[in-house]
Amino acid sequence: MLFRVARSRDGGAISHYDLYKVDVKRGMTVLDALFQIQSYMDPSLAFRYSCRGAVCGSCAMLINKVPRLACRTQVLELASSKMELKPFLALTELPQGWNPETEVLVEPLPNLPILKDLVVDMTPFFNALKTLELWTTPTEGDTPRKQSPEDRRLIDRYVNCILCGVCYGSCPVNAENKDYLGPAALAKSWRFYQDTRVEDRERYLEAALSPNGAPLCDLVMNCVRVCPKGVAPGGAIRKIKEIKP
């Protein structure tokens, strides 16, 4: 199978695409294919990975014009894996010569600066978490902060976020407005607001409702469709907007 992979000579933008013939076997992921290319065809190819098990979120990239984790994307299932997303330029601009019937297209995650090839600068994504101060300060003492199973279920899906940035790369608002905090940060704000163990929960809601936060979201729900962990950031943002539209 042929892989058409985005390359960048000096960073900052895609400069060209290289075509590689990969020996695809049953069970092979896109990350496996990139390893094959790097090991046997082109050691200069740059991409990011770590756990290889959809836990760390490092290998987020654009695969056949859909933001995905390369480590959990099966090559032989791509042809039947369709996803309807609201389009924006990065999802609609097709490289010259790409044949989706015979080639797998691999590009860097949209909405973030390109460092090299498939490696993007995640700084804007993580800066959003810092801006909202999405953490808690432990109280002194050793008294446990108990939580009922019912209260825990309120935050279960949001705790599953692995900060991969796939939602950020799928968001049309992030594509147009670089100041938008993005789906992951807003979903995490809702996670802390709903956590009954957290003191001063209102501050997380107020942070999410800042001018660059939830008010900018158009509830397109690309983030819900692409999230590899079922976090559904768009649902959390909808709830935030319903409390204080």
| Structural domains of the chain, ranges and CATH numbers in brackets | 2-120 (3.10.20.30), 123-138+146-243 (1.10.1060.10)
Specify the pLDDT at position 33.
98
Give the bridge partners for 3, in sequence order: 20, 104
Specify the pLDDT at position 155.
96
Specify the pLDDT at position 140.
80
Confidence of residue 171 (pLDDT cuts 50, 70, 90): very high
Mean pLDDT of all residues in 34-39: 98
Q: If we measure between CA atoms, which residue out of 40, 36, 60 comes closest to residue 50?
A: 60
Specify the pLDDT at position 87.
96
Contacts of 165 (CB under 8 A, 6+ apart): 57, 60, 109, 112, 120, 122, 125, 184
Rounded CA gap, 104 and 203, in Å?
A: 44
Percent of the chain with pLDDT over 70: 99
Mean pLDDT of all residues in 153-175: 97
Flag whether pLDDT at 244 surpasses 80.
no
